[in-house]
Structure 1
Amino acid sequence: MQSNQYSPKHSRETGLCADQDRAASKGARETDNTQTTAAAAATMASVLELPFQEDTQLTEVMRLRVQSLQQRNHRPQDGERLLRPQEVVYRLDFSQQNLRFQRWSIQLSVPGKITITGISQLWTPDLTNLMTRQLLEPAGIFWKKSGEEQVQCYEADTQEFGERIAELAKIRKVMYFLLSFEDGTEPANINCSIAFKASP
């Protein structure tokens, strides 16, 4: 399956999140013959790619909250954000915290759409309910059309979203996300990660 690595540019247009960083790096290597193999290896080593990992325990806690409200015929707390049927909780664990956003890497093995929404605050659903005000904007929206290989995105939004994640990484070691699966996608047919430039 082909990997579609996103390198968003500052544009409000919809487009392919192409391998612009990799292409630019290749061009630089071709024009700069003085770069050594050791320097290139050091540059690659400074790029940190983190996978989005499904958090089944938190997802289950959120689903039980919805189920409990339904069984008791209770209303949610004012401003509470309940987990929707097509949503799953994911997490990023930051092994380093001084990061600069580089690119998204999103793979969809089937046509469809995913929306990644960040949660801005530290959140423990066993102690506090998730509130709408805790959700980051913009969200990252990625989709693949039937008959196409490339994943598309709203480039400016995904760029801004990636930069917000890098900022939040400075003050925490884990961050949670809601992933919404639409138009035929599900956790089994996606592979999502985000790459940062790590500073010493």
Structure 2
Amino acid sequence: MSLELTFNPDVQLTEMMRLRVQSLQQRGQKRQDGERLLKSNEHVYSLDFSEQALHFTCWNICISSPGRLNIIATSQLWTPDLTHLMTRQLLEPTGLFWRSADDENIQCYEADAQEFGERIAELAKVRKVMYFLFAFEDGLSPESVECSIEFQTSK
């Protein structure tokens, strides 16, 4: 059976992480050693896993204007309500998807996208929710992207 999960923007968490950056700047403080601060073009998204036994099938990415989308997964160690995001909690590879001005098709590094999807399926075995940083580049904005991931379930 196929299961499609949509990446959901976590507006509250994105705002909380932006406030952390502002607070450090206002007080003239530096980030903690190893802390990963949210960049202005990044937004936090989450995936909620209703099933745990998943096998990655494909990405469903719709980009309505030219630009690049880099999806960075966080590991199961990050609890955003309790701790700051640390650089070591970011997973490789990332999912890099883009659309050129002269091409309607979405491009990606297929091997990386495949491995990234498989790692998400692996983490789903022990997670109910997983968090991602979506970096919108080259003129892309959250409004111009729809993103989901498809899995086969074991049922």
Question: If the TM-score is normalised by the length of the shorter chain, which range does it land in?
Answer: over 0.9
How far the C-alpha of 1:75 sits from its partner, in A, is: 0.6
**Stretches of structure 1 lacking an aligned partner (at least 5 in a row):** 1-45
- In structure 1, distance between residues paired with 2:92 and 2:79: 21
Which residue does the alignment assign to 1:96? Answer: 51
**1 or 2 for the larger relative contact order (CA 8 Å, sep ≥6)?**
2
Which residue does the alignment assign to 2:146? Answer: 191
CA deviations over 1:84-117 (Å, ceiling 9, x no partner): 0000000000110100000001000000000000
Query: TM-score scaled by structure 2?
Result: 0.98
CA deviations over 1:13-52 (Å, ceiling 9, x no partner): xxxxxxxxxxxxxxxxxxxxxxxxxxxxxxxxx1000001
Which residue does the alignment assign to 1:50? Answer: 5
Which residue does the alignment assign to 1:138? Answer: 93
How far the C-alpha of 1:122 sits from its partner, in A, is: 4.2
The AA in structure 1 aligned to 2:45 is Y
Higher helix share: 1
How far the C-alpha of 1:126 sits from its partner, in A, is: 3.6
> Are 1:127 and 2:73 an aligned pair?
no
Which residue does the alignment assign to 2:113? Answer: 158
> Are 1:106 and 2:90 an aligned pair?
no
Contact persistence 1:62–1:125 (CA under 8 A):
no
Give the secondary structure class of the aligned counterpart of 2:120.
helix
**Stretches of structure 2 lacking an aligned partner (at least 5 in a row):** none
Q: Runs of at least 4 residues of structure 1 off by over 3 A?
A: none
How far the C-alpha of 1:121 sits from its partner, in A, is: 1.9
Quick one: percent identity of the two aligned structures?
Answer: 65
Which residue does the alignment assign to 2:128? Answer: 173
What's the Cα RMSD here?
0.8
- In structure 2, distance between residues paired with 1:123 and 1:57: 16
Contact persistence 1:99–1:170 (CA under 8 A):
yes
Give the secondary structure class of the aligned counterpart of 1:82.
coil
Which residue does the alignment assign to 2:17? Answer: 62
> Are 1:115 and 2:87 an aligned pair?
no
The AA in structure 1 aligned to 2:85 is L
Which residue does the alignment assign to 1:80? Answer: 35
Give the secondary structure class of the aligned counterpart of 1:70.
helix
